Structure 1
Amino acid sequence: MTLTSHAPSVALSTAVNRLTADDDLFLKLHSLYGNALVNQLAWRFDEPLGRDLLDRFHAQLAQGFLARRVQTTRVPFARPYWVPAPESLPLGWDVVPVADDEILDWYFAQSRVDFDPEAGLVWRLSAAPTTTGGTLVSLVTSHVASDGGAVLFAVGDALARLVRDEEPDRSASSGGLVGSAPPNTLSANLSDAGAQLRAVVKGLRAAFAARAVTEPESTPRPATPPLPLPEQWSPADIVVQLDLDQWNAVATTHSGTTNGLLIALGAGLLGRSGRVGDTADIRVDIPHSMRTTNDPRANATTGLPISVRYNSTDRIDLGAVRTAVKRAATAYRDPATTPALQHLQPLQMILPRFVLHHFARTAKAPECLCTNLGETAKGVATIGDHHAAAVLMRPVVCTGDPAMFRRVEVGVNLSFSTDGHTVTLAVTAADPDRFPTRTTLRTLLTAEFDSWGLTPHFW
C-alpha cells in the first residue's frame, strides 16, 4: 500500500488536537526504550548547499507541522494533547567532508538523537559536505510526533514556503494544524475523560464481537547458537537504486504489482537468510496511510498484515501476494472483520504505564515490514533551487544489545520510494545472527535481486 501526503490549504484549524492511540503507544514505548526507532528523510545532492539555505529551511520546519510537544493532563483518563513547541534542536552542520563509502554511516549517525516529546524536541535537521563536492541532508523525527506521511506533509509545506520566500509563520503554515490548549482546560479534560470511558466500553463490545477474527502469525525465530557480536550492535542497513521501468516490467511479467514485488523481495530476503524454513508462511506487515487533507494527527497509519509463502526453490508468487493484499485491505475496512486488538485501543490509552511496559517487554517486532512510499518523495526532492540526486525515507533501528534484538524477534524492513524514473530502496536487517554485517545483507540481497532479474546499484 502506498503512503500519500497532502498539501496544506491556507485556512488551518487551531482546535484541541488530542493524542491518538498510536501517538500514545509510541509515547509509552519512548519512555521504555528511548529513541530505539526513529524515522529518517534523507537527501543526497551532487552540488553544495549553502548554510543560509538550510538555516531558512530549518526555520520553516520550526514553525510547521513537526513543531509540536505533548501537553499532559492531570485528569484521569483524559488524553494528552498537542501544542506548539517553543524550541527545536539546532541545525547540525558538519564541516568534515563525507567520503562515498562513509555515506551510510553518516546517515546512521544522525539517528542518534535524544528526543523529548514533552519539550517538543522531536526532530533534527543536519547536513554535511561530501568529498566529491555534494551535500548530504538528514531529517530525523521521533515516531511519537510524526509518521512518514506527517513528515512528508510538513516538509512539503516548509519547502513550498521557502520557494515563495515567505517568513516562517505558524498560523499561516501547516503549523496551524498542531492545535492549542482548550479555553477551559479542566472542563475540556473532564469531558474527554468521559468520552474515553465510553470509547472503552464500545471497544470492549466490538472486540468481543470480533473475537473469532484472526491475523497471520509471525514465524517463531529459530533457536540457534548466537554469533559472537559486540555488546552494542548496529543493524545492517543498505540503500540501493534500481530502474523503475525494469522493476515494473519484472512485476508485470510475474503477474504482480509494484508493491507486490517489494513484498516478495522482503519475504525472499528473510527466507534466504535462514530465518524461516522452507515453505514457511511469513507474516508481512504493510503500512497504509489513513491521512486526509489538513489532517492534524501525528500518526495516521494502520498496518495490513498478510501471509506470504516462502519456497527456497522458487520465487514468491506475486499473484498470491496481490490477492492477499486486496483481502487484507477489504477486511480492515469492516469493523466486523477487524481483529479484536484493534478495537481495544481506547483501553490501551487508559491503562497505567507500568501495565503497558509489561506488555511491551513481551511484544514482538514485525518479522517483515514493507513500506511503499510511492512517488511522494518527488514533492520533497528540491530544496530551494537544488534538486536532489536521490531521496530516501526509512525507519532507523538504533544500536542496542544483540540480546534485545533476538528477544523481540525483529526481522527485515524495506522502504520503497521513486522519483518516477529510479527506485530508491532502503533495507534494514535487524536479526543479529542472520544479518551480522552489511556485507552479509548485501550478499543475500544481491542473490534475491538476481533471482528476479533486477539490476541493483548499491550506495
Structure 2
Amino acid sequence: MTLTAPPTAAAVNRLTADDDLFLKLHSLYGNALVNQLAWRFDEPLGHALLDRFHAQLAHGFLARRVHRTRIPFARPYWVPATDALPLGWDTIPVADDEILDWYFAQSRVDFDPDTGRVWRLSAAPTTCGGTLVSLVTSHVASDGGAVLFAVGDALTRLRDGEQPDRTTGSGRLVGVAPRDAVRADLTDAGSQLRAVAHGIRGAFAARKVTEPDRTPRPDDPRLPSPPRWSPADLVVQLDHDEWNAAAATHSGTANGLLIALGAGLLGRSGRVGESADIRVDIPHSMRTPDDPRANATTGLPISVPYRQGKRVDLTGVRAAVKNAALAYRDPATTPALQHLQPAQMILPRWVLHRFARTAKAPECLCTNLGETAQGVADIAGHRACAVLMRPVVCTGETELFRRVEVGVNLSLCTDGHTITLAVTGADPDRFPTRAALRALLTTELTSWDLTPHYW
C-alpha cells in the first residue's frame, strides 16, 4: 500500500549500535529472527476493524525506514516509511490443532528496512468462531518494547476514533532527514570518531571484566535432518498462583523460575551434559518515555549451574540476576565488547560479516514481559483471551542452526491469572520435533509441580 508523505518533524533519529548490528545481520541472514505479538480472540473480528488498526500502525512508531548516508563514519538515520505490507487476511478457518502452525507461518515474510516494509499484520478466523491476529516485526526496526509502545498508541487512537496521523501519534518520534544533510552527516561522523576513541579507552579499562562462558555444543548426536529445518515451538498456559507458589516453595522469584525452566530444559535435552554452567541471557529494557530508538534493550548474561536430576537452585539464580544488573550499571564493570559498539558501527560490512560467521546465538534466552502485554490486549472493545509476545526463530538451513549453536528461547506473559509461556527449541539434534520438545518441557514443568495446558 502507498501512504501519504509525512510533514516535517523535529529531530534526526540516528541508528543505534544495536539497530546497526541487526541491519548488518539482516543483510547476511535475512529474516532469521523476528518478533511476534499474537492475539487469540474467542469472538470474530471484522476485516474493517483490522484495516483501521493497520492504518494506525502504518502512521505510527513502527512505520520507519533506514536512510543511508554517503559521508564515511556518519550513521544512517530513520525516516518515516511511506510503504507498508498490506493486511494479511486468511479466509480458511484455523482448527485448534493448527493454531501454532498458523502463527509460525506468519514469520514467512520478506522484510526490507530500506523501504520500511518491516512489519506485517495478519489475521484468520478459527473453526470455533474466534479470531487469530499476528503482528510480526523486524528486529532491525523494533525491539519488544518498541512494538508494545507502537501498538499501545495505535489501539488508543483506534478506541478514541482518531484518524491516522503521524504528527499527533507515536509516528512523530520516528524522525526526519536533516535540512542540511551534508553538514549534519559531517558533524555526526566527527562525533562517531570521538565515540570510537572514548569506547576504546573504556574497553581497555574494562579489559579484565569477563562475562559467563557459553557451554560448548557437543558434535553428537547428529540426527538425520532435511537441508532446511523449522525450529520446534510450543505455547503453554499455566496457573499464575501455581507458578508463584512453586517459586516461593523453592525460595525464588517468578522471574527466577522462568530462568530455571530454561536452563533445566536445555539440560534435559542432553545439550550440556550431566553437569554444566549454562549461560542464560536476559533481555532488559532501557526504554524511556517517548524514546525514539528502534532498539533500546540490553542483555544481562548470568551463569546458571545445572546438575542432572536436580532442580536449578532459585536462590542462586536470584543472586546472579541481581549481580548482573548492578554490574551493567557501572562502565567499570561493563564488558569491553559493550564499550566497542561505536567501533562496530564504522567497520566495513565485510568485516562484520566475517565476524558474524563465527558468532554464536544465545544458548538460553529468557524474556519475562510480565503483565506489560495486557496493555495491548483490547482491540476496539474486543478483549483477547490470550496475548503472547515471542521471538520467532524462522525456518533456515539446518547446518546454520548447528554452527551458531542456538539453544532454547523462552518468553513469558501474564494477565495476572494465567501464565502464557512460549518456548522454542532451535537445536535440530536436541529438539528435532515439536513432540520431542513437548516431552522434555512437560517433564521439566512437572518437576516444579506445574500443570501445563498446551495450545
Aligning the two structures, in what range does the TM-score lie when normalised by the shorter sequence?
A: over 0.9
For residues 154-197 of structure 1, the C-alpha deviation after alignment (integer angstroms, 9 at most, x for no partner) is 00000000000000000100000000111111000000000000
Q: Confirm or deny that 1:170 pairs with 2:166.
A: yes
Q: Confirm or deny that 1:67 pairs with 2:63.
A: yes
Q: Confirm or deny that 1:293 pairs with 2:289.
A: yes
**Residue 30 of structure 2 aligns with which residue?**
34
Q: Confirm or deny that 1:372 pairs with 2:346.
A: no
Alignment of 1:381-396 (within 5 A): 381-396=377-392
Q: Confirm or deny that 1:140 pairs with 2:136.
A: yes
For residues 428-450 of structure 1, the C-alpha deviation after alignment (integer angstroms, 9 at most, x for no partner) is 00000000000000000000000
**Residue 15 of structure 1 aligns with which residue?**
11
For residues 197-245 of structure 1, the C-alpha deviation after alignment (integer angstroms, 9 at most, x for no partner) is 0000000000000000000011000110411111111000000000111
Letter in 1 for 2:163: E
Letter in 1 for 2:324: A
Q: Structure 2: how far apart are the matches of 1:436 and 1:279?
A: 23
Q: Structure 2: how far apart are the matches of 1:269 and 1:404?
A: 22
Letter in 1 for 2:430: R
**Residue 4 of structure 2 aligns with which residue?**
none
Secondary structure of the residue that 2:275 maps to in structure 1? coil
Shift in Å, 1:13:
6.8
Structure 1: tracts of 5 or more residues without a match: 1-11
**Residue 434 of structure 1 aligns with which residue?**
430
**Residue 187 of structure 1 aligns with which residue?**
183
Secondary structure of the residue that 2:271 maps to in structure 1? coil
Q: Structure 2: how far apart are the matches of 1:109 and 1:290?
A: 31
CA RMSD, Structure 1 to Structure 2 (Å): 0.8
Q: Structure 2: how far apart are the matches of 1:13 and 1:215?
A: 41
**TM-score normalised according to structure 1 size:** 0.97
Contact 2:305 2:312 in 1 (8 A): yes
Letter in 2 for 1:80: P
For residues 379-409 of structure 1, the C-alpha deviation after alignment (integer angstroms, 9 at most, x for no partner) is 0001111100100000111111111100000
Contact 1:14 1:178 in 2 (8 A): no
State which of 89, 92, 98 in structure 1 corresponds to 2:88.
92
Alignment of 1:212-227 (within 5 A): 212-227=208-223
**Residue 8 of structure 1 aligns with which residue?**
none
Contact 1:275 1:434 in 2 (8 A): yes
**TM-score normalised according to structure 2 size:** 0.98
**Residue 358 of structure 2 aligns with which residue?**
362
Q: Structure 2: how far apart are the matches of 1:300 and 1:420?
A: 26
Letter in 2 for 1:200: V
Contact 1:159 1:384 in 2 (8 A): yes
For residues 73-123 of structure 1, the C-alpha deviation after alignment (integer angstroms, 9 at most, x for no partner) is 000000000000001000000000000000000000100110000100000
State which of 228, 235, 251 in structure 1 corresponds to 2:231.
235
Q: Confirm or deny that 1:200 pairs with 2:190.
A: no
Contact 1:68 1:145 in 2 (8 A): yes
Letter in 1 for 2:437: L
Q: Structure 2: how far apart are the matches of 1:166 and 1:456?
A: 41
**Residue 265 of structure 1 aligns with which residue?**
261
Secondary structure of the residue that 1:171 maps to in structure 2? coil
Q: Confirm or deny that 1:111 pairs with 2:107.
A: yes
For residues 26-50 of structure 1, the C-alpha deviation after alignment (integer angstroms, 9 at most, x for no partner) is 0000000000100000000011000
Q: Structure 1: how far apart are the matches of 2:71 and 2:9?
A: 25
Letter in 1 for 2:385: A
Q: Structure 2: how far apart are the matches of 1:144 and 1:403?
A: 24
**Residue 4 of structure 1 aligns with which residue?**
none
Q: Structure 2: how far apart are the matches of 1:14 and 1:386?
A: 35
Q: Structure 1: how far apart are the matches of 2:193 and 2:156?
A: 42
**Residue 450 of structure 1 aligns with which residue?**
446
Q: Structure 1: how far apart are the matches of 2:226 and 2:97?
A: 22
State which of 284, 291, 309 in structure 2 corresponds to 1:313.
309
Contact 1:417 1:424 in 2 (8 A): yes
Identity %: 79
Shift in Å, 1:312:
1.1
Structure 2: tracts of 5 or more residues without a match: 1-7
Alignment of 1:268-279 (within 5 A): 268-279=264-275
Shift in Å, 1:279:
2.2
For residues 132-153 of structure 1, the C-alpha deviation after alignment (integer angstroms, 9 at most, x for no partner) is 1000000000000000000000
**Residue 249 of structure 1 aligns with which residue?**
245
